[in-house]
Amino acid sequence: MTHYGIVTDLNRCVGCLACSVACKALNGVEPGSFWNKTLRIGPNPTEGGSGQFPDVEMYFLTIQCQHCANPECVKVCPTNASHVLADGTVQIDKSKCIGCQFCVMACPYGVRYLHEEERVVEKCTLCEQQIAQGELPACVAQCGGMARFFGDLDAGLENLEGPLSTDGKRVKLGEFCNEFTDADVHALPNAGNDPTFRYILRGRKWQGGE
């Protein structure tokens, strides 16, 4: 069973915001709204450190729809506008959306919003128009730090693909990224919705659960 998603190697993310810009450009996201955001975590003191440079650490955390396995937004939608596709992505049928914003309130991550002019809810679609043609989502394809990888999460994180190609083939996470353990793999807080996106962070304190 397919469940498309993204894994981000936070040790590689440089906070360039190329993912946010590419997303807005491809999907026509209106000014002032974002389908994905990049948050700066820190600088924070390292464990046992002085709290002064160089005893500090920092990383960037990308936040967008997690295309959850058990999405709360779908449960509360009164018109079935929010729904899950066979590929595991959570989508919105704008022709059915009445702008009630129940889904906006139900989302634990604050990544849905009401389009003021159209009066319908919008969010990350995982660039469904791209992946349907075998392409990568814009945020993955344009990642300057080669930190984002896309694919079927059920096939294993190591098999997700990034934008670079070798001999006509996309580089896979397992072949490109530095080694990591299960303890280095994190997810956003689970409020019963089972977020599926994953974040790899080595040697720093994960604070995405706070």
Supply 77's token pair.
């939608």
Mean pLDDT of 160-188: 92
Q: Using omega within 30 degrees of 0 as the cis cutoff, is the peptide bond preceding 54 cis?
A: yes
Residue 116 lies in a domain: yes
Give tens-digit pLDDT for 88-130.
999 999 999 999 999 999 999 999 999 999 999 999 999 999 9
Residue 193 lies in a domain: yes
pLDDT at residue 51 tops 70: no
Q: Using omega within 30 degrees of 0 as the cis cutoff, is the peptide bond preceding 163 cis?
A: no
Residue 139, φ and ψ in degrees, nearest 5: -65, -25
pLDDT of residue 58: 92
Residue 210 lies in a domain: no
Place of tokens 């083939």: 169
Percent of the chain with pLDDT over 90: 84
From 85, 95, 91, select the one nearest 103 (Cα to Cα).
91
- Reduce the DSSP state of residue 24 to 3 states and report it: helix
91: β partners:
83
CB 64 within 8 A of CB 36: yes
Domain that includes residue 115, residue range: 4-200
Q: Residue 152: which CATH number?
A: 3.30.70.20
Environment class of 200 (CB within 10 Å of its CB; exposed 0-12, middle 13-18, buried 19+): buried
Residue 107 lies in a domain: yes
SS (H, E, C) 70-112: CCHHHHHCCCCCEEECCCCCEEECCCCCCCCCHHHHHCCCCCC
CB 45 within 8 A of CB 56: yes
Supply 88's token pair.
């595991």
Residue 208 lies in a domain: no
Residue 119 lies in a domain: yes
Measured between alpha carbons, how far is 118 from 123 in angstroms, rounded to an integer? 13
Place of tokens 């906070």: 15
Residue 141 lies in a domain: yes
- What one-character-per-residue DSSP string does 123-157 give? -----HHHHTTTPPPHHHHT-TTS-EEEEEGGG-G
Q: How many domains does the chain have?
A: 1
Stated pTM of the model? 0.93
| C-alpha dist (Å) from residue 146 to 14, 43, 68, 194, 206 | 9, 22, 24, 26, 20
Give tens-digit pLDDT for 129-153.
999 999 999 999 999 899 999 999 9
Residue 151 lies in a domain: yes
pLDDT at residue 210 tops 60: no
Which residues, in sequence order, are CB contacts of 170 under 8 Å at separation 6+? Answer: 136, 161, 162, 163, 164
Average pLDDT, the chain: 93
